[in-house]
Structure 1
């Protein structure tokens, strides 16, 4: 299953970046890179500088990626979780594709309105004695202000593309993106405030116990040179390790133009 998922990811990744799939069979995928993707992935800056200085178009490379373990000895890049090439693709996505703008693909011969949604995927981290991460996906209708959670699960059911379909037109947002993000931020803060915090209480309890034990350890040795400073440093390390806190980070997001759907109701 992991092999299929990796192969699907590679197909979608290169197709989205306008690269032709020359061969795709039994876990072996060969793609023809565009100039842009060659520059991003193949580390040939001197080649591209030379061909451009001479007035030639240049020839982007082909790239073969192997996800089938039985084929790993064939010529190409063996792709698995943790492989350098896969990490390079993830880094490229994270750096260049954090935000997107997509349209719902609709086959129609009548004029049809598409409404703008601001969709943000956020990782909430609960950090203390132990760490727990939670991924939340929220969509905000930028015309009527309606919100929907688990928005990515809904978007996965829709055909999406980078260009608007024929006969479709977009409705201008009434809510600015910056204002919309603040609304989502407020919802997240309210969500966090309403969580139970036994984990935080446990972290504070452990923190105090560790500091108490440390001070007891040093209590009979405080006359030694620089020992007090060393104890304070260790206390700071304990606080950094156990002090509970919650943070959230935007993973990715974008503006999605969607047709009205009864399934898009407030959650």
Structure 2
């Protein structure tokens, strides 16, 4: 095991022609094209990132199969976090199918886009969640602060499910610290205190900021995540290519490196690789 290996714990690949990215429209011009491993390769090499975790961007089984096929053909893809209809009778069979692929590492139900903010607390089929636990698969929680109470209820129901909070629970940074700090900050503290000790991704902050963000813009939010999760429960992710809407891979990597530079070497290694490797069983 190479403790110095750097891993991007959250990025995406897609092809709009596949037709199942409901949120991805032509008006999102920087994103509306094919993004694949060859596009990311120079950015990875320039920042010393060896491998990545590719996360679903469409709520379809077909997209999960598409990502797993990409992973078969590219060693830089260390793992795939896919999508399964956790409310369906088909969920257990799909989890069984995907778990036979060694690069399938977890699921993400895209909670932020569901019309019911309490969905996670009462809709998923218990047998599906239990099967995730049996196969030691992870659960990515894509949430805003308004989802925290329901996610806490869900997490307490399944104390052995391994959970990671995507994008630091997406604080509304563009509104400014004074306006946006609460209830996000309290939600982070509550999630970090859960008995199963969920992890959190140091990702997505640039996307949530206003144009022209700087280290200083993101520093209070990164510091709050570090204070509550500690370097032992944070993992860096790029959120590329969504990041292209409000920044660049190299810039965000450099900012995250500076915002964690006060940590000791072991803490930095944990955030930029070791935690992702352990959490996703890479």
State TM-score, norm by structure 2.
0.20
Between structure 1 and structure 2, the one with the greater Rg is: 1
Higher strand fraction: Structure 1 or Structure 2?
Answer: 1
Higher helix fraction: Structure 1 or Structure 2?
Answer: 2
